[in-house]
Structure 1
């Protein structure tokens, strides 16, 4: 929609998701007595490792392939959400 290159679009999307997640975590931490770090820490670690690996992979893969892979993942998530909503 904004005519970004695919690498910039994915990076921007991940930045927005990270900011949203951090804001949610801060809000949750301020409103509850405790945060279950045993649950949060593995997801945080996986996200950091995924970001590092994604950055490395993005420099080696063409924008067209990234765009197609992103579309496939987006459709798979949409299909999963549809099936989940119908069941």
Structure 2
């Protein structure tokens, strides 16, 4: 009976170590993504999607969806910092965003119907350009 308990404890310890490793990977990838977005104003998805797929094991559709949230929240915080410094052209940004809303909705709708391999390949092509 004691052997079973010991084996169970070892599995639990390995599980906790794996969770901590995963958390550290997520924090490092998130910091890199945030740095790119804050400094360059873009590139977050190029970093976030592969990290979410290959480091954290999300499906391409889930990674793309999570990346949208990550980029939105991180971009908003960077927007506030750049706005304080007077570097934001709000009218131009809103016009550009308005032009992208329809195509973004279309792309989001299509992504749910594409095979995971096709979505990953499409992302790779866009990232390479």
Verify same fold: TM over 0.5: yes
2:45 matched residue in structure 1: none
1:58 matched residue in structure 2: 111
Moved over 6 A (4+): none
The Cα offsets for residues 32-84 of structure 1, whole Å up to 9 and x where unpaired, read as 2x8422211122213432331122111221111101101111112xxxxxxxx
Deviates further, 4-13 or 14-23: 14-23
* Counterpart secondary structure, 1:41: helix
TM-score using structure 1 length: 0.70
Instruction: Answer with 1 or 2: which has the greater Rg.
Output: 2
2:74 matched residue in structure 1: 20
Q: Relative to 1, partners in 2 of residues 1:56 and 1:31: Cα closer, same or farther, differing over 3 Å? A: same
TM-score using structure 2 length: 0.50
In 1, distance between residues paired with 2:72 and 2:102?
14
Unaligned runs of 5+ in 2: 1-54
User: How many equivalent pairs are there?
Assistant: 75
